[in-house]
C-alpha cells in the first residue's frame, strides 16, 4: 500500500517536471538608476530616475519617421542587425518572426529592428527585406538613420554592443540580444535572440508585462 503511494507520488513529480514552474513575479527594471538633484525653493531635492530609452528619430522601411512616440502606449522588442550579416542575424530574424506571429493581432506590442549598417541598408533595402520576410509596418519597424546615433542608442539606451569591427563576420560587431521595453521606455528584459528557448521566455514575459498594465 505504502509502495503504491510512493509510486503515485513519483508519477506526479514526473508530471510536474514537464511543466514550467509557475511564477508570479513582476519583471525587473533593468539599468542603472540616476540620482538627479534639483532645486525647489532654495532646497536641493534628490530624486531617483530609472534608466530609460533616450529620445530617438529614425527612418523606417516605408520612409516614415519613427520616434519614441511611434511606440506610445505600446511595449516593444528592440534588436540590432544588418541585412548582409552572415552569422547570427538569420537566426535572429527567424526568432523575431516568431514574436511577430505571436502578437500579430495585438496592437499593444511592436517590434523595432535597427540596422547597424546604414550605408548598405538603405530604406529600399530594408523595404525589400521586410517584403521577403513577409512583414509590415507598424507591427515590425525596420529602421535606419545616422550611424552614430544608432550605435549610441544601442550602447547607452539598450545597453548592447553595436559597432563596426573589421575583424567580425560581415564587418560589424553586435549583440544578438532582444530587449523588452515597457510603455514607460524602461528595459524590462534581455533575451538571446539566437536561442529559441530564450525567445519562448520573451513571449511569456511580453504576456506577463501586458497583463501588468491591465490591473
Partner 1 sequence: MSNNYLFLFFYLFLVLSCNSYQKPVESQLPENLDEAYKMKYTQYLIQGKILYNTNCTHCHQNSGEGFRKLYPALIGSAALMVDMSQAACLIKYGTKATRKALNQNIAMPAQAELSNLEIAEILTYIGNSWGNQSGFISVSQVETLLVDCATY
* Maximum alpha-carbon separation in the chain: 79
Q: With contacts defined by CB under 8 A, name the span among 3-11, 23-31, 60-68, 109-117 that binds partner 1.
A: 3-11
- Pairing between strand 140-144 and 109-115? parallel
- First CA to last CA across the chain, in angstroms? 48
Tell me which stretch binds partner 1 (CB under 8 A): 23-31, 71-79, 92-100, 146-154: 92-100
Supply the minimum distance, in Å, between the C-beta of residue 154 and partner 1: 22
Q: Can you tell me whether residue 204 is helix, strand or coil?
A: helix
C-alpha dist (Å) from residue 207 to 123, 137, 193: 31, 21, 17
Q: With binding defined as CB under 8 A, does residue 128 bind partner 1?
A: yes
For the record, the C-alpha cell of 185 comes out as: 521606455
Strand runs labelled E in the chain? 34-40, 43-49, 57-60, 65-67, 75-81, 109-115, 140-144, 162-164, 172-174, 177-181, 187-192
Is 5 among the residues that bind partner 1 (CB under 8 A)?
no
Q: How far is the CB of 196 from partner 1 (least distance, A)?
A: 11
17 touches partner 1 (CB under 8 A): yes
| Backbone φ, ψ for residue 191 (5° rounding) | -130, 145
Q: Quick check: 124 binds partner 1 (CB under 8 A)? A: no
Among 35-43, 50-58, 85-93, 184-192, the segment contacting partner 1 (CB under 8 A): 85-93
Tell me the per-residue interface mask from 29 to 68 with partner 1, x by CB under 8 A, - otherwise. Answer: ----------------------------------------
Q: Which residues bind partner 1 (CB under 8 A)?
A: 7, 10-11, 14-15, 17-18, 83-84, 86-88, 90-91, 93-94, 97, 128-129, 131-134, 170
Amino acid at each position: 500500500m505504502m509502495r503504491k503511494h510512493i509510486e503515485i507520488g513519483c508519477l506526479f513529480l514526473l508530471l510536474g517536471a514537464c511543466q514550467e514552474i509557475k511564477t508570479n513575479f513582476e519583471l525587473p527594471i533593468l539599468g542603472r538608476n540616476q540620482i538627479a538633484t534639483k532645486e525647489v525653493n532654495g532646497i536641493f531635492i534628490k530624486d531617483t530616475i530609472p534608466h530609460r530609452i533616450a529620445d530617438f528619430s529614425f527612418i523606417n522601411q516605408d520612409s516614415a519617421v519613427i520616434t519614441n512616440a511611434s511606440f506610445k502606449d505600446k511595449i516593444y522588442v528592440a534588436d540590432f542587425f544588418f541585412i548582409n550579416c552572415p552569422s547570427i542575424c538569420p537566426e535572429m530574424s527567424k526568432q523575431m518572426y516568431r514574436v511577430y506571429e505571436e502578437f500579430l493581432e495585438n496592437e499593444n506590442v511592436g517590434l523595432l529592428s535597427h540596422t547597424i549598417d546604414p550605408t548598405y541598408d538603405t530604406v529600399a533595402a530594408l523595404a525589400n527585406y521586410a517584403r521577403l520576410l513577409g512583414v509590415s509596418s507598424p507591427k515590425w519597424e525596420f529602421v535606419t538613420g545616422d550611424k552614430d546615433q544608432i550605435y549610441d542608442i544601442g550602447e547607452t539606451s539598450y545597453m548592447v554592443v553595436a559597432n563596426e569591427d573589421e575583424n567580425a563576420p560581415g564587418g560589424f560587431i553586435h549583440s544578438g540580444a532582444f530587449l523588452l521595453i515597457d510603455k514607460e521606455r524602461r528595459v524590462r528584459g534581455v533575451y538571446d535572440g539566437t536561442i529559441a528557448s530564450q525567445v519562448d521566455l520573451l513571449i511569456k514575459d511580453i504576456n506577463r508585462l501586458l497583463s501588468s498594465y491591465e490591473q
